[in-house]
Amino acid sequence: MGKRKKQAKILRIFRKVHRTTGALLFVFFFFISVTGLILGWKKNSNGTILPKTQKGTTANLKEWLPVDSLHSIACYTLHDKVSPDMSLELDRIDIRKEKGSVKFVFVDHFYEVQLDGATGNVLSIGQRHSDFLEHVHDGSILDRYLGTNGYIKLVYTTIMGISLFVFTLTGFWLWYGPKRMRREAKQ
């Protein structure tokens, strides 16, 4: 087989792999791109996607209330101001020393309660839409609802990472291959 025919055959294979991969994973690429775009804007969304971090009275940790007291205030606030039926299971505690505030992020419905670290005053109560979007973005939303301990996320991110690599490789070759063939044909 001649060199030109071999290159053309490789191009056809790459085109088919590129097209098939794109068709099979279109929905996943769509979700990843949309959620990624929104997540990129989360801190510039005026509190719509991610509640703004509020400022407390002091960054001096010696003046702060104990974390267990702040936790009690956050749990009471969630039940009193949002719903008494909500789970008090914590996802994480986000201490913002420089802002003088602490965020208690709850698993149920991605709610957060921000408190002044020194006084315990409630600074804000909000839903973290960005956390939901992150779970959709990386596939862990299915792990959460199916209780699969992170295995779906692992498989999903592996497939999507390999697919992105294949798309990059085949896309580059679909762009470069014809240029190379034309250049070699002129020689």
120 contacts 69 by C-beta, under 8 angstroms: yes
Of 81, 96, 127, the residue that ends a domain is 127
Tens digit of pLDDT for each residue in 110-154?
Answer: 999 999 999 999 999 999 999 999 999 999 999 988 989 999 999
* Assigned domain for 100 exists: yes
**Cross-strand partners of 106:** 90
Based on the domain organization, do 100 and 32 belong to the same domain? no
β-bridge pairing 122-127 and 111-116? antiparallel
CATH of the domain at 117: 3.10.450
Three-state DSSP state, 149? coil
Same domain, 77 and 40: no
Whether 1 shows a pLDDT value over 80: the answer reads: no
pLDDT in tens, 161-178: 999 898 888 888 888 888
pTM over 0.85: no
Neighbours of 34 (CB within 10 A): 13
143 falls within a domain: no
Look at residue 17 and tell me if it is in a domain: yes
Q: Is residue 28 part of a domain?
A: yes
Range of the domain at 183: 1-47+150-187
| Residue 16 CA: distances (Å) to CA of 24, 161, 167 | 12, 19, 11
Q: Tens of pLDDT along 64-92?
A: 999 999 999 999 999 999 999 999 999 99
Residue 145 lies in a domain: no
Residues 3, 42, single domain; the answer is yes
* Residue 96 pLDDT greater than 70, yes or no: yes
Same domain, 36 and 1: yes
Number of domains the chain contains: 2
